[in-house]
Amino acid sequence: MGVTIADVAARAGVSKTTVSRVLNSKGEINENTVLKVRKAISELGYVPSAGAVGLARGTTQMIGMLVPDLAWAWSGIVQAVIETLETEGFGLRMLTWNHGEESLRRLGLQVAAKSFDGLLVIEPEGAMGYITELHEAGLPVVLIDDRFQRPGFPYVATTNREGGAQAARHLLEIGRRRPLVVTGPDAFGCTRERLGGFVDVYAEAGIEIDQRSIICGDFQFERCRSAIAAALADGLEFDSVFAHNDPSAAGVLTALHEAGLWVPQDVAVVGFDDVEMASYTYPALTTIRQPMREMGAAAARLLLDHVRGVPKAAPSCVIPTSLVVRGSTLRPSPN
């Protein structure tokens, strides 16, 4: 059983009502009592429930942002969030989701301390229940989502299914009729959406993609590199590859190069995301652009609308993907 408000009260030597008043900053409380309660919360690792916190909020001019890590993959989103918030006179408090329950405890303490007016969230693995609880208790929350989650609070998403369809239409337009698909993790909604859009367009063209030509790459460079090497060793014939993210596509390019195959002459390759590295691969990567900066800016504006109580604030926002054509599918035209 988790730590309760009663445990905190017992450790601090106060009543549960006093702990609740400290969490909600309600009433006049002796400073020593406040310090004892906060010390007990820290020592016990207590994560306040949304109900216990109450979320009777003032304003801090700060926005919290919970991210899985600070890796380069999120840099476009984060930079757009920062720029949008600064324009509106708000600051940003970053929280990472690297340490599971410990990260959740830290989030709870920040909420209890009313450190921010609203929360932006990216991929809250294992925390959606708690974040939903916070939203239902009154904390403005917006999810920035590329995995096709649809929470009970506002979100900003992109068109993963249409992105898969865009990749398929492009490969068909350049005459590629034997594609291989390297997918993301099976549990992710975006994997199913990207695969579904791709397969449907090929089916409409009268081409059924065999299950052997669909390989899980888990969004990982090395796994995709190994998967392509194994497919070639098994004699699987393909003239193109659709990889479900750009690091996966980079692994595909490396494996094809190591096998002595030319891109795009022998095999055309399409990725997904259009992160910075897509321009630096050899050849440069054709990819489906996920509008990271636009998603970050839209999420920040949407959250600020809800923080400010703007009438008729939009519940959610979906921003479309687009095809970016580079050398991995089309050779440059001769001068």
Task: List the domain boundaries for the chain.
Answer: 1-33, 160-290
263, pLDDT greater than 50: yes
> Which of the residue ranges 34-43, 88-97, 282-291 has the most confident prediction, judged by mean pLDDT?
282-291
Chain centre distance of CA 230: 30
What is the CB neighbour count within 10 angstroms for residue 168? 27
- The pTM of the full predicted model, rounded to 2 decimals, is 0.79
Q: Which helix (H) or strand (E) holds 118?
A: strand 118-122
Q: Do residues 315 and 140 lie in contact, with contact meaning Cβ atoms separated by under 8 Å? A: no
* Residues forming a β-bridge with 158: 319
Span 65-115, pLDDT tens digits: 988 765 556 778 899 999 999 999 999 988 877 666 776 777 777 777 778
Residue position matching structure tokens 């698909």: 181
- Which amino acid belongs to residue 320? P
Q: How many residues would you count in the chain?
A: 335
Q: Which residues contact 319 (CB under 8 A, 6 or more apart)?
A: 156, 157, 158, 159, 291, 294, 295, 298
Q: Do residues 48 and 96 lie in contact, with contact meaning Cβ atoms separated by under 8 Å? A: no
- In CATH, the number for domain 160-290 is 3.40.50.2300
* Residues forming a β-bridge with 179: 240
Question: Lowest mean pLDDT: which of 164-168, 229-233, 241-245, 277-281?
Answer: 277-281
* Residues forming a β-bridge with 119: 64, 141
